[in-house]
Structure 1
């Protein structure tokens, strides 16, 4: 898509889920990125972002966010990839900016009753639906995602079935005789198991997570404001926050005269073996001008405690792990650059 518009979009409307884990996750990401949402209560449906007057936040249901972004009333929106993908055939004016924001992960799966011991793979449903048809019976599938389900079944050659649309708890449908199988979201599988259902092999219709979507014509205009414009600064900040998640900035300082049998090179090699990133080393001097060495790196927060004793055996005299807020690398992925290329701006 190309755009010749240079119209300044003011304000920039960002649609955010009004409650739940999709709301909590994006508000935390924005806060860490320096975009704190000012919302007095969960009954407030509009808010501002401190220090960023161009952004106007509106709160609504995740399903409505897909519609409002597609129609251009909102320029950016946070929703579930499952909800966006279900409407993808209608998405002529919207694009996915970030397909996975790092939280809200789940899967849309086909689940059958545990008692169906002969149905273990989706291919088994091909024969089963044909048997239902031959016997004059209707194979019923309950789901909140009819478009995704039809596409998935068509891919596997499954044609003889009836979709049962429902907004309620689908897990009850097989036991109540409403449907034979369900296509629903799961994260851990516990709810399915508690209701005597199980996934089948190759039965994942879609991997989903929280995502950022946008109205393509509006984003094209915003992208033309360049790398110092509000869209670029927001996306860059979110990239930096997401790249820092789970990492500590590690500093290891050693003294050649201190007990130990290693050097900065040995420490760097050890950290590299532990999966550390952005490793650097150099010389340092203490307050008495005694020489020493220093190694810095990004290390997984969950690994630091297990590493510290070995680092001391390698000659470390001090180990400091600091939380990271942003991580930027010259070759790091840039959401803004990818979006600009996608929109041909």
Structure 2
């Protein structure tokens, strides 16, 4: 059964309880109760869960998608318009040599000079997903959490790149550290508490769709989902909710509000992602070619951003001998092996002579110092460390995966 209940200080909420043969709605007047009692839900299974409200608590029917895409001549990319997500998105594009030109800061439309056939539209994160679903825009950058919540497994939304390396966080449950939750540290302990239809677990969240699926999958029988516009962490202390379901980055906000994250209750990991409308990819001329360039630039930069280029002078009898010494340590092997070349210096006789070899390798940033120590240990000196901007592969793996997903042959595209 699914019922709408009043929530103190919060907007109406969806209650998730075991389905029965009838549905009732608790309202403020008798007529609404009587009307609800007259409704029946035949043929539903005992553990199925229904939906009475969306993210904005609307019970209206979703708009029907257009049968065909509109006939516009420009291609559209939607970007977040506000907040840290917007800043990180623009910085990533800039790092990929893609300059978003916005003549007027109050405008919602901009251009990328390197991609003249592509319009940039600044939208709220929720609208980025919605407008992708309905084909109003063709591409978008948004958090995976918002894609899961608003997109809700929509088949018309395709994830092109799921790891843009910014906006990293995760969805989790935040539970009070004291009171009756003092000894509740795991999801199983929370589920085993004596929740009932009269006293359900009250969860405040901005992720109604994700929460519904999650609690159903985890076997919770009596859950009420509450909505709030902000300050979710205050709800348990105010008594208007038992726990929260929200994004967690460092966990500091939870701790400062006397909340803790439950073990085994990480609902999903999230970060920035590049997504597209499937129909647009197949039907809009030139879009796949733009996607190919975007993926190449993104992959090249994000791959390089995880490495340093390290050059060291190595003593040795030959380039081959120096290479074999480096290859014995996996951390010094680089991406495809070291590059070793002679180093020439001016000898006493005024002629060039060689007694050193320069070895160039790529080292993961997180392992830089151990790698430098090992290089010194095997005869290296004069170690130079440089940041890397791009590492271009033959063809991005995500591009090949996309073509397979769409059933498109690469030979049918002009990627020159």
Settle same-fold status: TM greater than 0.5: yes
Q: TM class, shorter-chain normalised?
A: 0.7 to 0.9
Q: How far apart in 1 are the matches of 2:235 and 2:267? A: 19
Q: Tell me what 2:31 maps to.
A: none
Q: Tell me what 2:135 maps to.
A: 72
Q: Show structure 1 runs of 5+ residues with no match.
A: 258-262
Q: How far apart in 2 are the matches of 1:121 and 1:158? A: 14
Residue range with higher mean Cα deviation, 289-298 or 106-115: 289-298
Q: How far apart in 1 are the matches of 2:372 and 2:325? A: 11
Tell me, yes or no, if the aligned pair for 2:334 and 2:361 is still in contact at 8 Å: yes
Q: Tell me what 1:334 maps to.
A: 397
Residue range with higher mean Cα deviation, 307-316 or 230-239: 307-316
Tell me, yes or no, if the aligned pair for 1:284 and 1:292 is still in contact at 8 Å: yes
Q: How far apart in 1 are the matches of 2:97 and 2:290? A: 13
Go from structure 1 to structure 2 and tell me whether the alpha carbon gap of 1:300 and 1:17 turns closer, same or farther (over 3 Å shift): same
1:38 aligns with 2:101: yes
Q: Tell me what 1:244 maps to.
A: 304
Residue range with higher mean Cα deviation, 41-50 or 164-173: 41-50
1:290 aligns with 2:354: yes
Q: 1:142 aligns with which of 204, 208, 220?
A: 204
Q: How far apart in 2 are the matches of 1:256 and 1:203? A: 54
Equivalences for residues 247-262 of structure 1 within 5 A: 247-256=307-316
Equivalences for residues 12-161 of structure 1 within 5 A: 12-40=75-103, 42-89=105-152, 91-115=154-178, 116-128=181-193, 131-133=194-196, 136-161=198-223
Q: Show structure 2 runs of 5+ residues with no match.
A: 1-67, 346-351, 409-416
1:235 aligns with 2:295: yes
SS of 2:326's equivalent in the other structure is helix
SS of 1:277's equivalent in the other structure is coil
Q: Tell me what 2:383 maps to.
A: 319
SS of 2:292's equivalent in the other structure is helix
Q: Tell me what 1:260 maps to.
A: none
CA-to-partner distance for each residue in 1:208-266, whole Å, 9 max, x for gaps? 1111111111122468777xx22211111111111111311222233549xxxxx6236
SS of 1:133's equivalent in the other structure is coil
Tell me, yes or no, if the aligned pair for 2:323 and 2:340 is still in contact at 8 Å: no
Tell me, yes or no, if the aligned pair for 2:161 and 2:295 is still in contact at 8 Å: no
Q: 2:276 aligns with which of 194, 214, 237?
A: 214
Q: Displacement of 1:42 after TM fit?
A: 4.4
TM-score, normalised on structure 1?
0.85
Tell me, yes or no, if the aligned pair for 2:326 and 2:332 is still in contact at 8 Å: no
Q: Displacement of 1:83 after TM fit?
A: 0.8
Q: How far apart in 2 are the matches of 1:8 and 1:51? A: 24
Aligned residue pair count: 330
- Name which one, 1 or 2, has greater alpha-carbon Rg: 2
Tell me, yes or no, if the aligned pair for 1:111 and 1:181 is still in contact at 8 Å: yes
Tell me, yes or no, if the aligned pair for 1:99 and 1:210 is still in contact at 8 Å: yes
CA-to-partner distance for each residue in 1:107-128, whole Å, 9 max, x for gaps? 1111111111232221223332
Residue range with higher mean Cα deviation, 299-308 or 67-76: 299-308
TM-score, normalised on structure 2?
0.72
Go from structure 1 to structure 2 and tell me whether the alpha carbon gap of 1:119 and 1:285 turns closer, same or farther (over 3 Å shift): closer
Tell me, yes or no, if the aligned pair for 1:264 and 1:294 is still in contact at 8 Å: no
Q: How far apart in 2 are the matches of 1:93 and 1:301? A: 37
Q: Displacement of 1:309 after TM fit?
A: 5.5
